[in-house]
Amino acid sequence: MANLTLVQAINLALIQEMELDDRVVLLGEDIGRNGGVFRVTEGLWQRFGAERVVDTPLAESGIIGTSIGLAMGGMRPVPEIQFEGFLGPAYDQLCSHAARFRTRTRGRFPMPITVRVPVGGGIHAPELHSDSPESIYVHTPGIKVVMPASPYDAKGLLISAIRDPDPVIFFEPKRIYRAFREDVPEDEYTVPIGKARVVTEGDDLTIVSWGAPVVDCMNAIEAGGRSAELIDLRTLYPFDMETIAASVRRTGRVVIVHEAPRTCGLGAEIATRIMEECFLSLEAPIQRVTGFDTIMPYYKLELDYLPGADRVGRAIEEVLAY
Amino acid sequence: MANLTLVQAINLALIQEMELDDRVVLLGEDIGRNGGVFRVTEGLWQRFGAERVVDTPLAESGIIGTSIGLAMGGMRPVPEIQFEGFLGPAYDQLCSHAARFRTRTRGRFPMPITVRVPVGGGIHAPELHSDSPESIYVHTPGIKVVMPASPYDAKGLLISAIRDPDPVIFFEPKRIYRAFREDVPEDEYTVPIGKARVVTEGDDLTIVSWGAPVVDCMNAIEAGGRSAELIDLRTLYPFDMETIAASVRRTGRVVIVHEAPRTCGLGAEIATRIMEECFLSLEAPIQRVTGFDTIMPYYKLELDYLPGADRVGRAIEEVLAY
Amino acid sequence: MPVEPVYRAEISRVSILDEHGRFDGALGADLIPDADVVALYEHMLLCRTLDEIAFKLQRSGRMGTYPQNMGQEAASLGAAYALDRRDWMVTCYRENAGLFWHGVPPELILLHWMGDERGNHIPADVQATPISIPIGTQMLHAAGLAWAEKLRKTGAIACTFFGDGATSEGDFHEAANFAANLDLPVIFVCQNNGWAISVPSRIQSSAPTFAQRGLAYGMESIQVDGNDLFAVVYVMRDAIRRAREQSRPTFIEAVTYRLRDHTTADDARRYRDAEELAAWEKRDPLVRLRGWLESRRLWSPDQEAAAKERSQSEVNAIVARAEGIAAPAAGDFFNHMYAELPDELRRQRDTMRTSSLGQDPSECSREPSPPPSPAHAH
Amino acid sequence: MPVEPVYRAEISRVSILDEHGRFDGALGADLIPDADVVALYEHMLLCRTLDEIAFKLQRSGRMGTYPQNMGQEAASLGAAYALDRRDWMVTCYRENAGLFWHGVPPELILLHWMGDERGNHIPADVQATPISIPIGTQMLHAAGLAWAEKLRKTGAIACTFFGDGATSEGDFHEAANFAANLDLPVIFVCQNNGWAISVPSRIQSSAPTFAQRGLAYGMESIQVDGNDLFAVVYVMRDAIRRAREQSRPTFIEAVTYRLRDHTTADDARRYRDAEELAAWEKRDPLVRLRGWLESRRLWSPDQEAAAKERSQSEVNAIVARAEGIAAPAAGDFFNHMYAELPDELRRQRDTMRTSSLGQDPSECSREPSPPPSPAHAH
Ligand SMILES: Cc1ncc(C[n+]2csc(CCOP(=O)(O)OP(=O)(O)O)c2C)c(N)n1
Ligand SMILES: Cc1ncc(C[n+]2csc(CCOP(=O)(O)OP(=O)(O)O)c2C)c(N)n1
Ligand SMILES: [Mg+2]
Ligand SMILES: [Mg+2]
């Protein structure tokens, strides 16, 4: 058991999977000698060599496109996209190709690719370094989407993702890369894809969130003193409706919290599913606390944009007051 | 007044806007001498010359990226992307650049670009020629998204889009390009962006749809004989919540119909907004009749995938029976 | 020196059997055994017959849109002939001749154009990827495949095919750049057929050659008469050696021509001159190869007639196999979405006919339909 | 002929004032009037001072991540000097020297790095686009701008700047290809500074030069010593002529070096050799130009001291202006999303602090904050 940050937990998972399975190769920009701009791959180039930890040309479509070929050729590529904003140039290879190869070839070419991507705002970064595009990929059939909110989950989910026979986007909430530490077993373990985590149990309302805002929700609950059941979704597609529905049937009130823009965000899907499956249990409209339908602002205003503990706290009171 | 197909209505709108405003230039693949693979730009190259109707290299990112530069340089580019599946390679220029230029430059560089894109299934086309990616762009701040379902609206909305100072994706439902004719005024007119159209009035339930499925909804209503209020959204962002809410407050029951995959589709957003704004009026869970969370299948099964009049009809009965 | 040359390059063009029947013995002798030339010619005949019948199937409503390959048979076939079975062919949609030679069952290709994904289920022992519809996207897959083979030290390489239009896509550039800078054993074959649907190739490149695209990457680059089977085999052998022995890529521009419409949905008369077409009909790779065979008394009118008949009946059998595959079950598109169907997708599948909310059981098939198990092509 | 050359090309490298102070009179004489050389040198000094102060602002928490320009001043400045005011500069983030010369107020650039979009509100009479963070994306905008100017027959052209790393992106390829095939008056200037963060330029291109990237498009292409202001002006003049008179693009590789970390978030010692750095410090464009000026008695130690002092106080004033701009109002990011704020966005803005559903009125500012109206740079 070691007390690790989220970055360290991911680094450990990568080392252990690379030791275990020599089909696992890492590729991306600056991940080699430099150990990645967030130091997530620190030491791996030195340990596994330049053949398995590869600094590629600066081309995201190339990174994902060659990962597809690597996967077809029997490897298990783990590409890194340096910031979520640079998924853009790779969109086509990811959504029109990686996501479709298994189904368009009726299983002949599965795509065991794990795309690691730092995500989200709050670190005073320049433009296109602070977005939350997860809903785009949740809407895209054929991809699994994972976002841990703690070091323990990060390690276990990343190991699951690398072993998963399908393409997984593994979003790493950069705001909490080093925000806190947690005990993380040294041995390998998996956290299953598709299962949510109940962070705190409670009776008055259900809060659903994922990634860095989970921490804001915890703070809001602590500050507000309400009995809230906080669900950390962990896997965004396919997401764990069972855990959500069981909780909502008990509490009847829901707040959903995410950083992404509101319209067509995953919050809308969850709200709709709750309405579909728990219609008669709902005692108040579901509240969404989200980013706005705006471009994520430059950093002077980023805290205005992010759903902080304050806004979550107000939503909790609103939904309870209804 | 002429009796026109949707293709003809669009062609007419392009001619008239090009006559009126010489800043309007068209660019794309095969739009010139060939008049476009769907013949939407038929005759324009001959009429306006190769300077204003430009066959570009085969590169979608290039088409959108140079459109951005054209817009900055004072033109009003109307790029065509040949099929919605080929928005993929242009995703980054569209969503990270065209969508952001106005706001990131605080208004210095507006982006009066209208991206024309045939969309949707049902024409026995090969892969990536039958998708419905509109929700992706609805979720992307800074873009407007329009999809007409009739020749009259097609002309009026396209004229509005070209005149709009912001980037508009103008989706053309290819399944109904030539499916029916409608009287279309020969003069120029606009249909406002952001306003829905009430296709049929009714009291028992509200149906919200857009694009080609609007026709399926009309057929389902005719077959089922229920008093349904059918709303053709026409603009998908910013969409006309006022019209929807007014109807739902009266009917209490809702069916939403779209071709795109269900999870995180625009249907989810509309359902959530209805729940937020009409919570106490809702007498039954909102029903979604949509594409599935799968890759749009090759054409042998495409009718299984599309929400046809049958599925809409069953949803109507279900929501009324609740 | 204030202005100093720092780089020089030259692009050559290779031709062995030209359109006038002239054959260069220095390069061409012993390049392909006579018996193989005969087999290759017969294969081209088969492919052309299939191409014509596919066109008719489309016109009579038995197949969707289909892109005829006519006139371009030599380029992909010469490449496939030079490759090993262990090497990858990563193509778009005008490489029937090469794909069939490499072992892809022709009925699969027909099945694909009949709107059935099972046409993409390449048999496990054939090293080919399915037809690629989105232009310019498959070259990156080839680069990745070559990379995987290199990492796994199998000695296999990848050869990817694409059109002149495809070289305008950014993904082409990224693929070539990855291959050159990471030393990947991949061969890029551009079939420059003069057109990308209605857009002439000069809009894709205003340079004198497409081959010089490769110079950007410091890649060995060459132009070849793509309607000359011998010349294609010649440049491919060179490229294969470079890939296998030095793990270095090559860019090959195969100059050819599309003798038919872009696809059955196109009408090339709208944009193409009759004279241009007529000139290229004289350069037809089949006609040329037949002339060579006849001049060497390796082929006779009788053999031609017999081979045509064989092709016809073989293609009829292929069509019968393709049409004999039962339509996929309703909702089959849910299967193979993931290795394991997620609960929500299972619910959508099981209720796709009965309910929009999904509380009800389904009448739909639950099990994936098996891929067809086709007989091999050669 | 079976193997026949069909294309030949050569890339030259231009150098006028080399790192040893040798000056080529044939090309260099009368290239730039002496008084302008002095002004350009002083401008470089100012930029370097700003660069150092920006670094300190970041370290003391008064600015976000900042990419130092040090060592690369000559390339963008030489280009800007050769361009007209009516021409567009479309840059990434290591072109401060050129941008300021072209008229972009330096405080705007600082404001940008201070996390404020108003730093991108380039004054209406300055033909420049804002700093581009996403690598490789701006070249297409330059191609489009050049296209617009061509259509509008203004005679203006566009000049775009990007790094060695940026040439690996597909968008670079598409931009160059559009420019070449549609005859657009645009100049591509690649600042090859040896590195893309920690990745050496040979991973971006294993070819002998980056200049040969342009050959792919049949584009006039040239390499230049990017630390040699004279040589940059020389090749730019040639490229500008080609753009303005023939509407043809040019590719220029300016060989230079990043003398500092990639950005303030980077530590180049992790991946870069001290010797490499030391060698390039000797090629510093400022040092070189100062040597030239001194050898011609156009500059003295006293002038140097005075100029440094002036730079310092000018930069202090710039910083004061940047820091003097009040923070944007809460919720300002709603404004400018569209020409007119849609209802739903208005609702989100007006209730951003008070309600997640949006039924309540807001305490937030409703009006867009005006762009700062900065004093001009020169
Ligand atoms: C990314 C993408 N954009 C557009 C299309 C539509 N399209 C299909 S084929 C084609 C032309 C391809 O030209 P080329 O690469 O020269 O191949 P050819 O058909 O001539 O063999 C186009 C534009 C597509 N399939 N994919
Ligand atoms: C599309 C994209 N991918 C990745 C990054 C992260 N990144 C920022 S700068 C940089 C290196 C750029 O290298 P180069 O183009 O040579 O310019 P330089 O910084 O050396 O001037 C990278 C990878 C980015 N900003 N944009
Ligand atoms: Mg072609
Ligand atoms: Mg660089």
Amino acid at B269: E
Chain C hits for A98, CB-CB cut-off 8 Å, are none
Mean of all residue pLDDT scores within chain A: 97
Query: Ligand 1 center to residue C269 CA distance, Å?
Result: 18
Same fold, A2-184 and A197-321: yes
Q: Is the peptide bond before B238 cis (omega within 30 degrees of 0)?
A: yes
Encode pLDDT of C274-292 as tens digits: 999 999 999 999 999 999 9
Residue nearest to atom 21 of ligand 1 (CA): C163
For ligand 2, whether the C-beta of D262 sits within 6 Å is: yes
- pLDDT at res. D190: 98
- pLDDT at res. C1: 62
Encode pLDDT of A99-140 as tens digits: 999 999 999 999 999 999 999 999 999 999 999 999 999 999
- pLDDT at res. D354: 74
Paired strand residues for D300: none
For ligand 2, whether the C-beta of D112 sits within 6 Å is: no
Instruction: Summarize the confidence of residues B221-226 as an average pLDDT.
Output: 97
Residue nearest to atom 8 of ligand 2 (CA): D135
Enter the CATH code of domain A197-321: 3.40.50.920
Residue nearest to atom 20 of ligand 2 (CA): D196
Query: In this model, does residue D373 exceed pLDDT 60?
Result: no
Band (D357; pLDDT cuts 50, 70, 90): low
Return d(Cα D76, Cα D315) in angstroms, integer: 19
- pLDDT at res. C370: 52
- Token pair 């705007």 is at which residue? D108
Residues from A contacting B (CB-CB < 8 Å) are 85, 88-89, 91-92, 95-96, 99-100, 103-104, 127-128, 135-136, 138-142, 237, 260-261, 263-269, 271-272, 275-276, 279, 284-286, 288, 292-295
Band (C362; pLDDT cuts 50, 70, 90): very low
Q: Chains contacting C with at least 3 CB pairs below 8 Å?
A: A, B, D
Encode pLDDT of C67-88 as tens digits: 999 999 999 999 999 999 999 9
Domain boundaries along the sequence of chain A: 2-184, 197-321
Band (C377; pLDDT cuts 50, 70, 90): very low
Dump the DSSP string for B193-229. Answer: TT--EEEE--SSEEEEE-STHHHHHHHHHHHH---EE
Q: How many CB pairs under 8 A join A and C?
A: 143
Are the C-beta atoms of A260 and A134 separated by less than 8 Å?
Answer: yes
ipTM for the complex shown: 0.97
Instruction: Calculate how close chain D gets to C245, using CA atoms only, in Å.
Output: 18
The residues, ordered by sequence, that sit 6+ positions from C188 with a Cβ below 8 Å of its Cβ are: C139, C142, C160, C162, C175, C176, C179, C214, C219, C249, C250, C251, C252
Paired strand residues for B78: B26
D96-120 burial, b at 16+ Cβ within 10 Å, e below that, comes to bbbbbbbbbbbbbbbbbbbbbbbbb
Band (C376; pLDDT cuts 50, 70, 90): very low
Encode pLDDT of C329-358 as tens digits: 989 999 999 999 999 999 999 888 777 665
- Token pair 């990226």 is at which residue? B65
Chain D hits for C13, CB-CB cut-off 8 Å, are 3-6
Amino acid at D216: A
Query: In this model, does residue B290 exceed pLDDT 60?
Result: yes
- pLDDT at res. D358: 54
* Length of chain C measured in residues: 378
Residue from the list B32, B89, B285 with its beta carbon closest to the beta carbon of C170? B89
Instruction: Summarize the confidence of residues C139-153 as an average pLDDT.
Output: 98
- pLDDT at res. D353: 79
- pLDDT at res. D364: 34
Return d(Cα D74, Cα D71) in angstroms, integer: 8
Task: Return phi, psi of residue B219, to 5°.
Answer: -65, -40
* Residues lining ligand 1, Cβ inside 6 A: B 29, 58, 82, 86, 89; C 94, 133-135, 162-166, 193, 195-197, 258, 262
Return d(Cα A146, Cα D176) in angstroms, integer: 38
For ligand 2, whether the C-beta of D165 sits within 6 Å is: yes
Residue nearest to atom 6 of ligand 1 (CA): B82
Chain B hits for C136, CB-CB cut-off 8 Å, are 58, 89
- pLDDT at res. C358: 54
The residues, ordered by sequence, that sit 6+ positions from C141 with a Cβ below 8 Å of its Cβ are: A65, A66, A68, A69, A72, A97, C90, C129, C160
Name the region of C144 (left: φ>0; alpha: ψ -120 to 50; beta: rest): alpha
Mutate to test the pocket of ligand 1, among C133, C135, C140, C271 (most ligand atoms within 8 A of CB): C135
Report CA-CA distances (Å) from B155 to B7, B137, B190, B192, D12: 9, 22, 8, 11, 54
Please indicate whether residue D363 or residue D28 has the higher confidence score (pLDDT): D28
Query: In this model, does residue A253 exceed pLDDT 60?
Result: yes
For ligand 2, whether the C-beta of D260 sits within 6 Å is: no
The answer to whether C191 contacts chain B (CB < 8 Å) is: no
Band (D2; pLDDT cuts 50, 70, 90): confident
Encode pLDDT of C254-272 as tens digits: 999 999 999 999 999 999 9
Encode pLDDT of D175-213 as tens digits: 999 999 999 999 999 999 999 999 999 999 999 999 999
- pLDDT at res. C375: 44
Instruction: Summarize the confidence of residues D218-243 as an average pLDDT.
Output: 98
Query: In this model, does residue A6 exceed pLDDT 90?
Result: yes
Return d(Cα C273, Cα D124) in angstroms, integer: 48
Residue nearest to atom 25 of ligand 2 (CA): D134
Band (D362; pLDDT cuts 50, 70, 90): very low
- pLDDT at res. C128: 98
The answer to whether D204 contacts chain A (CB < 8 Å) is: yes
- pLDDT at res. D376: 40
For ligand 2, whether the C-beta of A62 sits within 6 Å is: no
Query: In this model, does residue D24 exceed pLDDT 60?
Result: yes
Instruction: Summarize the confidence of residues C42-53 as an average pLDDT.
Output: 98
Classify the C-alpha dihedral B109-B114-B115-B119 as positive or negative.
Answer: positive
Query: In this model, does residue C371 exceed pLDDT 80?
Result: no
Structural domains in chain D plus CATH codes? 13-323 (3.40.50.970), 337-364 (no CATH)
Chain C hits for B54, CB-CB cut-off 8 Å, are none
- pLDDT at res. C352: 86
Band (D375; pLDDT cuts 50, 70, 90): very low
Instruction: Summarize the confidence of residues B314-321 as an average pLDDT.
Output: 95
Band (C373; pLDDT cuts 50, 70, 90): low
Instruction: Summarize the confidence of residues B117-125 as an average pLDDT.
Output: 97
B2-184 CATH fold: Rossmann fold (3.40.50)
- pLDDT at res. A105: 98
- Token pair 């990007």 is at which residue? D162
Cβ distance B261 to A294 less than 8 Å, yes or no, reads: no
Instruction: Summarize the confidence of residues B159-171 as an average pLDDT.
Output: 98
Report CA-CA distances (Å) from D230 to B277, C2, D78: 67, 11, 7
- pLDDT at res. D372: 54
Instruction: Summarize the confidence of residues A79-90 as an average pLDDT.
Output: 98
- pLDDT at res. D94: 98
Mean of all residue pLDDT scores within chain C: 94
Encode pLDDT of C212-234 as tens digits: 999 999 999 999 999 999 999 99
Residue list, CB under 5 A from ion ligand 3: C 163-164, 193, 196
Encode pLDDT of D120-137 as tens digits: 999 999 999 999 999 999
Mean of all residue pLDDT scores within chain D: 94
- pLDDT at res. C359: 46
